[in-house]
Structure 1
């Protein structure tokens, strides 16, 4: 799956995710980078721009956005790499997510419909992404059942939720007040053009709502879903 990449221990972000004392939690969402090798030329640009436009424009733009917005969290929502443009998916992932790792900010990702078109399967991609520095991505959601490590009945890879807690020192410091649901919209559905979500994805939402009710006496908290493709 991976060749000529040195082995190192994963660097972890500061956890848990928390709102700031001013009540803010800024998310920088990045979609459809379609990253290739780092020198892959841009597509769908003016002919006068083609000669100098490459993946590096994406890298520079992402670095600028991180510096300008100063987010608390970065969310990548699919087509992070463009499989047909690279023969080394691992190397492309390192380059695509490089600015996020360099920022030392917590980040997470889901896949789109082009990520797996190179040298890794969707399962391999999500497993690899979950091991990258400062990544909070998960190949499959964890369970509360000590006899089972992950939920296996959910279709796809990269279906999970991340919880954001209240500000430190506040009355909400020990409570989840915002939830991020990352859902895998898949590759192709029965040969159709667009990807889709089946009912198994709602297992995560339902399980979270049940837990919130049992722990806090409330049906759910404010939530947001991060996905690549909405419907067929």
Structure 2
């Protein structure tokens, strides 16, 4: 058998160099694969990152925390198992630079459990085993998991209300959960959070998922109904930082103070319905928007007040887009928020019907909720903010026309209102009409006019109210083709301390609309957070006998 001639030193060097190059290339490719896998891999259970591991029909059989490194190509942020599902939220909220950590839940269908298979009956957080600090649990078996997690497991018993069926992650010491039979743990997970990053907290559901019944708002027995418009809450993940708070120099945490203000008005004014007109979430300080959404929804659920919300330009600047945020809002207690038709541009174009008093099924008030989007899609030609699109205007007009016949069956005067976030171009007052309230900053309406104001007038809407410009709270009449007042255009005024309000000592405020269906009358006013908090500001009648009236 012929032998190959020995390689020269140069050939040997060339082979070694080639091998090294191939090794380097292979290492780079492996790094890219794992790098992309760790960041952009979408797990089947995490397509919607707010509903990853607590679907109906499942029970929790185990939990854990998985830590990984973004610079280690062999470090994984997930568990490869069909039963393990990742809560798709970095427990460090992106502050770990190199390190990431994710909470994982093992879940199985309840009807597929083996006869002796164990399920989780309780979850606690602490550095010490619960049996060592709680005399009542000394005979119970607790198992340790990373992050200070302790779980109690046992074979499935007959009482389904005690079985853990869902676990979720929220953030911050002020985290709350409005969902039925969910409870936020008293302590945060023991992970190495960085700086001021809000601590991760587990929220646990025991028992089956409860069906959320949609409330049916109705005119009171005395023929009255009161709507509280809350604009620009600007809630954060965590406590948030106050902007332009008065009085100056005092300690201020944005979200607690904002919610305390709203809660005080709920106590004092006792509204029948709440409309949220956008920027509930302060996008750049809300890396977990779900935590922020839960704050206001928990408050309204506690007061058992139905509410509906639309989006502003900041709501989708956190970790959730509009569709994901609305999916959360739509499933919460007392929420009438919904996405609306898929063939209409935007998320949150829908109608809320307020039924007449008693047991009637006829509508007394119709509230049109519309998405005014965010920023201009054509900055060169139309600088600033987006506008209502033709598909939305067509939907609004066709919906209004289809409802008019049914509304005529109402025995009193039926009235229609609309709520948006970004003001219409006509808020700039082209007809130079007198207004009521504060006009403190130029209206940041879109540069392009899609003529939605004309559609409102044509369909007989008596008032439209917006948010967005925090220190404007005026009401301005708009004219019809006959140059007669036909519509009131109002601002809600900024309510949240996470947003700006630094013009001329402006105080946070909230607008109310009070309806007297016996007279077909609408009265509106504002209440402020600091200063003369007991008085109604700029109280005025805007509609009487079902007609727009102007007395300014």
TM superposition score category, shorter chain reference: 0.7 to 0.9
Q: Secondary structure at the match of 1:180?
A: strand
Instruction: Show structure 2 runs of 5+ residues with no match.
Output: 1-48, 51-86, 88-167, 170-203, 425-445, 447-552
Among candidates 81, 86, 92, match of residue 281 of structure 2: 81
Cα distance, 1:154 vs structure 2: 1.1
Other-structure match for 2:262: 62
Among candidates 308, 324, 345, match of residue 155 of structure 1: 345
Other-structure match for 2:422: 229
What TM-score, normalized by structure 1, do the two folds share?
A: 0.84
CA pair 221-40 structure 1, distance change in 2 beyond 3 A: same
Other-structure match for 1:146: none
Q: Secondary structure at the match of 1:162?
A: strand
Among candidates 219, 225, 228, match of residue 28 of structure 1: 228
Cα distance, 1:185 vs structure 2: 0.6
Among candidates 304, 318, 322, match of residue 118 of structure 1: 318
Displacement over 4 Å in runs of 4+: 5-8
Distance in 2, Cα, partners of 1:125 & 1:159? 14
C-alpha distance after superposition, 1:70-115 (max 9, x if no partner):
1111111100010100211111111133211211111110010001
Q: Secondary structure at the match of 2:228?
A: strand
What TM-score, normalized by structure 2, do the two folds share?
A: 0.37
The question of whether the paired residues in 1 share the 8 Å contact of 2:364 and 2:407 is answered with no
Cα distance, 1:45 vs structure 2: 2.9
The Cα RMSD (Å) is 2.1
In the alignment, does 2:365 pair up with 1:178?
yes
CA pair 180-216 structure 1, distance change in 2 beyond 3 A: closer
Residues 183-198 of structure 1 mapped to structure 2, 5 A cutoff: 183-190=370-377, 191=379, 192-198=383-389
Residues 121-132 of structure 1 mapped to structure 2, 5 A cutoff: 121-132=321-332
Q: Secondary structure at the match of 1:60?
A: helix
Q: Secondary structure at the match of 2:261?
A: helix
Cα distance, 1:214 vs structure 2: 4.2
In the alignment, does 2:392 pair up with 1:201?
yes
Distance in 1, Cα, partners of 2:296 & 2:403? 35
Other-structure match for 1:105: 305
Q: Secondary structure at the match of 1:48?
A: coil
Cα distance, 1:209 vs structure 2: 2.7
Deviates more, 1:24-33 or 1:204-213: 204-213
Distance in 1, Cα, partners of 2:387 & 2:421? 10
Cα distance, 1:13 vs structure 2: 4.8
Distance in 2, Cα, partners of 1:14 & 1:216? 20
Cα distance, 1:118 vs structure 2: 0.5
CA pair 135-25 structure 1, distance change in 2 beyond 3 A: same
Instruction: Choose between structure 1 and 2: higher strand proportion.
Output: 2
Deviates more, 1:95-104 or 1:221-230: 95-104
- The count of corresponding residues between Structure 1 and Structure 2 is 216
The question of whether the paired residues in 2 share the 8 Å contact of 1:37 and 1:55 is answered with no
Residues 210-229 of structure 1 mapped to structure 2, 5 A cutoff: 210-215=401-406, 221-229=414-422
Computing the radius of gyration over CA atoms, which structure comes out larger, 1 or 2? Answer: 2
